[in-house]
Structure 1
């Protein structure tokens, strides 16, 4: 993201050479600061912008981690090939064994190109493509195992493989945004990738702007129980037996709930199209 992009998104912002006071958000970019009033921003928006434009007082040793400057400051990088970036956010216990955790990561990912924390709890691992790379399920199992060993809680976004060229930093910024926006909508997954959230991410703006959807949603009474049922069915690809197991509900009871919902709404959660529609309604 360039200064021009920021000005287009935030026309009330200004550029200056020094950081502003604490009431203002100071985003370091291109040797200057882009200044925004915090009172005009939502808290989630502030956290997202601070992630995309980390403070110059970075905890990263730039000499040891050239990928940091490449991704965040768009400097040149002497590296050829195809890479993916695994972003992670970790909740640590008070006695977290940081060095041991980092050593474990480096041992588990033999083809990592770079690895660093950008904040106390956020970081990135850059992995070069190789034939037998870890699948998403492998990575989820890895972080679940590490969380069990270190008493931590980790959420990771597994990026796509891209060429290391002038476009990758901008692609990474969009992946950062997707990670921050979509992580809160997932349940029971310690790792996810774009296909897991693409339907919601790329349709939510249209859903929010639709008067039909707004009116329909206001007329449709969705209890907490039916919301959990919709999510369970969605995460189990519509499989009723698996969803019932996740809900700690007898399969026949779930069938009964689905029939009642159909009678009340005309929407059958046994049909994938209706299930997708209801999923988008509760997550828009």
Structure 2
């Protein structure tokens, strides 16, 4: 059941980031809570909704996972150093070997200080900084290998290393929000970090509100072929040879189409500024 379906069924409910009082029912969904007064519900409805949307606490033994209390309940930890959170979402097969998967995670990550699921498919890995920490490319390979071994499908957002102080839980919450919001806009990338989505994430509201952008979007009708060309050039940092290979297109053919695009629009996809602008136009239209 989605948030939209809940709102349709219970229009008196509202969405917020934190749990409400005990007089209300707080249902965890998509990183937020759908909150509705219990007095508006029958007891059977409450029990059914709690089954459909189980509380996060049911997934985590807080005594065994002090980082959960730190991140979600702001209970301070007596630790020093820099730490990062790897947020993940995993689609599991019916016969998923959960214990074996978790054992593999603990064996693979030597600097892991905590690891837990916050829901059936969502979880967090907390790593302490070390000089030999995995790069983004290495993490991508790790999760792809695990998916091949366990017939799963994992998407991961690699957070930054921060000091474990009173600000860390707030940084964690913002990273969670970025992860949830940017999942839909990812194309061909299953492990990513803030630099991969920062441009889109921090400009999308401004793009939506701009009258210039709205007018330009109306005038510039991009075919599906050119959308794929723009996205491929973006993924390959403007490298025409690499983009042509991705598109199964001869390099000269791609050059010709880029020239025609320039003639029709005045935008040169060979220039990074023009490419960035067209990329943002596409992601705005998708929203």
TM (norm. structure 2) is 0.83
Question: For this pair of structures, how many residues does the alignment match?
Answer: 256
What secondary structure is seen at the aligned counterpart in 1 of 2:106? Answer: helix
Paired residues for 1:82-93 under 5 Å: 82-93=82-93
Pairwise mapping of residues 37-186 of structure 1 onto structure 2 (< 5 A)? 47-50=30-33, 55=55, 57-186=57-186
Once the two structures are TM-superposed, the CA of residue 48 in structure 1 deviates from its matched residue by 3.3
Q: Distance in 2 between matches of 1:210 and 1:55?
A: 40
Q: Within 1, Cα distance between the matches of 2:246 and 2:22?
A: 48
Aligned to 2:21: 32
State the shift of 1:34 in Å.
9.2
- CA RMSD in angstroms comes to 2.5
SS, match of residue 259 in structure 2? helix
User: 1:186: Cα distance to partner?
Assistant: 1.4
* C-alpha distance after superposition, 1:158-177 (max 9, x if no partner): 00000001100000000001
Match for residue 208 of structure 2? Answer: 208
Cα deviation code 1:14-50 (max 9, x no counterpart): xxxxxxxx83368695773696999xxxxxx952314
TM-score after normalising by structure 1:
0.84
Residues 89 and 50 of structure 1: CA distance in aligned 2, closer, same or farther (over 3 Å): farther
Paired with 1:186 and 1:145, the residues of 2 have a C-alpha distance of 20
CA distance in 2, matches of 1:25, 1:107: 42
Instruction: Tell me the CA shift for residue 93 of structure 1.
Output: 0.8
- Secondary structure, counterpart of 1:202 in structure 2: helix
Q: Deviations over 1:105-139 (max 9, x none)?
A: 11000110100010010000000001111001110
Distance 1:33 1:173, change over 3 A: farther
Secondary structure at 2:31's aligned position in 1? helix
**Partner SS state of residue 181, structure 1:** helix
Q: 1:56 to 1:158 in 2, by over 3 A?
A: closer
Cα distance in 1 for residues equivalent to 2:19 and 2:190: 35
Stretch deviating more after TM superposition (111-120 or 56-65):
56-65
In the alignment, is the contact (CA less than 8 A) between 2:18 and 2:33 conserved in 1?
A: no
Shift of 1:58: 2.6
**Equivalent-residue separation in structure 2 for 1:26 and 1:232 (angstroms):** 36
Structure 2 CA distance, aligned partners of 1:71 and 1:165? 11
